[in-house]
Structure 1
Amino acid sequence: MSQLQSICLCGGVQITGTLPSLWLAHCHCTQCQRAHGAAFVTWIGMRADGCVVHDHEQLLRWYASSPAAERGFCSRCGSSLAFRSTRWPDELHLAVANLTSAADRTPQAHVFWDTHVGWVALADDGLPRKGAPDSDTV
């Protein structure tokens, strides 16, 4: 059984996920921009029941960024690690930048493109550029 591993900057929180992943996409929503201090965040969707959190010091904290979503981060180093939402209750989304090895797939789309920032020029990578889902709640 193949797995991937996500780890925070200080190494205090690790999340392992059983492959295959469900999807991989670049998110341009304003919540991701603010939570990560970046133009966009690349997420990999994993089955929640295939993920295990290794957090012996109980450093992982969850912030409710909306009524339906939470963002997981390390309370020691501040690394943003994960996202979960009632929109996708069987999934855990992991920030690709924290993976210790390559993902099992390449990006499939840009999502929330309607709120992408104008100060980063992204080349046409051939990926679909999708707007927000029907709901305002991520």
Structure 2
Amino acid sequence: MAGGQCFCGAVRFSAELPSKWVAHCHCSMCRRAHGAAFVTWVGMEESRCVIDDEQACLQWYESSAGAQRGFCTRCGSTVFFRSERWPGELHITLANFSDPVDRAPQVHAFWDTHVDWAAVDPQDGLPRKTPT
């Protein structure tokens, strides 16, 4: 089991490992939603995740057709992503986990849209994937 929270702690979660995958996403939507060069996501089976939102701060935003990003309305942290493209999965930002997860990042996703202004270790050994 691994848990975490948003920046202010109002939205908490726990995820029963194993994860499905861990990936650095370089898509433009993740960049804009997080204000970062890329976002590292942990792919989980949604049925193995529990979201604790006792303070009713979690809001879901439809960022594109069939896809939603879950964020805290108090602190603004975007913590979750779900999409019809990956049914039954909940993607959770690795940076919001308080506990270690079961694997390191395995791939750079949407590499074709990465930015040149942020350095990525060319020797990290991870495949650079483009959408299919």
TM-score normalised according to structure 2 size: 0.97
SS at match of 1:31: helix
In structure 2, the residue corresponding to 1:64 is in which secondary structure? Answer: strand
Q: Does 1:95 align with 2:93?
A: yes
**Structure-2 residue corresponding to 1:14:** 12
Q: Which runs of 4+ in 1 moved over 4 A?
A: none
Pairing 1:14-33 to 2, within 5 Å after superposition: 14-33=12-31
Provide the rounded CA distance (Å) in 2 between the counterparts of 1:89 and 1:14: 22
| Deviation at residue 102 of structure 1 after TM alignment | 1.6
Instruction: Tell me the residue number matched to 2:107.
Output: 109
Q: Report what 1:129 is aligned to.
A: 128
- The RMSD of aligned alpha carbons is 0.7
Paired residues, number: 131
With normalisation by structure 1, the TM-score equals 0.93
2:82: which partner in 1? 84
**C-alpha contact 1:6 1:94 (8 A) present in aligned 2:** no
What residue ranges of structure 1 are gaps of 5+ in the alignment? Answer: none
Q: Distance in 1 between matches of 2:99 and 2:38?
A: 20
**In structure 2, C-alpha distance between the alignment counterparts of 1:92 and 1:121, rounded to whole Å:** 28
CA contact (8 A) 2:17 2:101 kept: no
Aligned amino acid, residue 87 of structure 2 = P
What does the per-residue CA deviation read over 1:23-61, in whole Å, with 9 as the maximum and x for residues that have no partner?
000000000000000000000000100111101111100
